[in-house]
Structure 1
Amino acid sequence: MRWERLFEELDAGFDAEAAVERDAEVADRTRRERAQIALYSRLLANVGRGAISLRLPGAPGPRVIVGTPTDVGPDWLLLVDTANQSVLVPLAAVRSITGLRPGAQEASLVGRRFPLGGALRGISRDRAVVDLVDVDGLVLTGTIDAVGADHLDLAEHAPDEPRRARHVVRTLVMPIAALGSIRRR
């Protein structure tokens, strides 16, 4: 009887130790898998799933944009804000996100190869009037004339006037790294 109880206790101890090791292994694997998930994949899983809040830099304090993600690229996010306007935000300008639901989604090969420069070239091709906000919060209105590898040219003009030479107040070059957001008018 004593031998049976001894073996039962040893067996129970072994089972408990194995369970602790298994739980530690599961927790470690979970942490490793989470470490492989990019913000891009998390945002992609949230497209059309409700509003999120982005905190962006600005002066004198941070700016907040609230909207529903409609598209995501490897380094940009497009959302429709509460005024039902499309806003393009470089992920490099995002300081924090509130309201992001759990989960991740892998992008298609095409989606992974459509960077911010491609999205900016699309806006430039459409000749859309935009409000461009830099990372300091300065708002500039005009039309994107050209997009380079790391910068864009903006022809500033009044929002209610088409982009014509006589309406352009000035043309400025902005590094893409200084871009906070772009809202189509």
Structure 2
Amino acid sequence: MRWDDLFADLEAQTQALLVAERDAEVAELTRLETSRLQLVNRLRPAVGAAVRVRCLGGMALAGRISAVGAGWLLLDEGGGREALLAAAAVTSVAGLGRLSAVPGSALDGGLGIGHALRAVARDRSVLRACLTDSTVLDGTLDRVGSDFVDFAVHAAGEPRRREDVREILVLPISALAALRRDS
């Protein structure tokens, strides 16, 4: 009887060690997988979710994520207002939940902020540009380069007319926090 108890105890200890080893391995693999996530992986599953976003320059926005790309997100602020945010200028996002998309998918390196900015420039929308240094400008995107935009400054809410343009500013894309427009 004592031998049976001894072997049963040894078997239980072995099983406990195997379970602890497996749990440690799963935890390490989870940490490794999480380390591969990018912001785009956290944002993609949240399309349609209500979030609060803070950006460099102290700007805070709230709305529903309507689209996400590599380096940007589009926020529907409601009331016909949208904001295109540069992911590099985002300092926090509240309301995402726990879901993440699989890292390394085609969308991670897909349509970048340059693509989104070129679409806005083609649209000729009147914008409010919020920069990372808290500067706010009203106007229209004229051109989009690889790392800059030409921004025609003119009166808020007015379409771009040559005679109404006060100046053309060349803005590094890295200086953009958000472009807001009313639809």
Normalising TM by the smaller chain, what interval? over 0.9
Runs of 4+ in 1 over 3 A off after TM superposition: 106-112
Q: CA RMSD in A?
A: 1.6
Seen in structure 2, the aligned counterparts of structure 1 residues 22 and 156 have a Cα distance that, compared at 3 Å, is same
- Distance in 2 separating the partners of 1:84 and 1:160: 14
Which deviations, in whole Å up to 9, do the C-alpha atoms of 1:151-180 show, x marking residues without a partner? 000111112332111110111110001101
Seen in structure 2, the aligned counterparts of structure 1 residues 98 and 21 have a Cα distance that, compared at 3 Å, is same
Structure 2's unaligned 5+ residue stretches are: none
Structure 1's unaligned 5+ residue stretches are: none
- Distance in 1 separating the partners of 2:21 and 2:157: 67
- Distance in 2 separating the partners of 1:32 and 1:160: 48
Seen in structure 2, the aligned counterparts of structure 1 residues 140 and 85 have a Cα distance that, compared at 3 Å, is same
SS class of match (1:95)? strand
Seen in structure 2, the aligned counterparts of structure 1 residues 164 and 144 have a Cα distance that, compared at 3 Å, is same
The structure 2 residue matched to 1:147, chosen from 121, 140, 144, is: 144
Seen in structure 2, the aligned counterparts of structure 1 residues 9 and 68 have a Cα distance that, compared at 3 Å, is same
- Distance in 2 separating the partners of 1:37 and 1:6: 47
1:89 matched to 2:89? The reply is no
- Distance in 2 separating the partners of 1:161 and 1:24: 61
The structure 2 residue matched to 1:135, chosen from 132, 136, 144, is: 132
- Distance in 1 separating the partners of 2:107 and 2:65: 18
**What's 2:54 paired with?**
55
- Distance in 1 separating the partners of 2:121 and 2:157: 17
Report matched runs for 1:1-185 at 5 Å: 1-48=1-48, 50-58=49-57, 62-106=58-102, 109=106, 112-185=109-182
Which deviations, in whole Å up to 9, do the C-alpha atoms of 1:124-175 show, x marking residues without a partner? 1111100001001111000110011100001111123321111101111100
- Distance in 2 separating the partners of 1:65 and 1:158: 23
- Distance in 1 separating the partners of 2:70 and 2:122: 21
- Distance in 2 separating the partners of 1:39 and 1:161: 35
Structure 1 residue 110 displacement after superposition: 6.3
Which deviations, in whole Å up to 9, do the C-alpha atoms of 1:4-62 show, x marking residues without a partner? 111111111111111111111111111112122221011000001x211111122xxx2
Instruction: Give the structure-1-normalised TM-score.
Output: 0.92
Structure 1 residue 83 displacement after superposition: 3.9
Identity among equivalent pairs (%): 41
Quick one: which amino acid aligns to residue 37 of structure 1? L
- Distance in 2 separating the partners of 1:14 and 1:140: 68
SS class of match (1:149)? coil
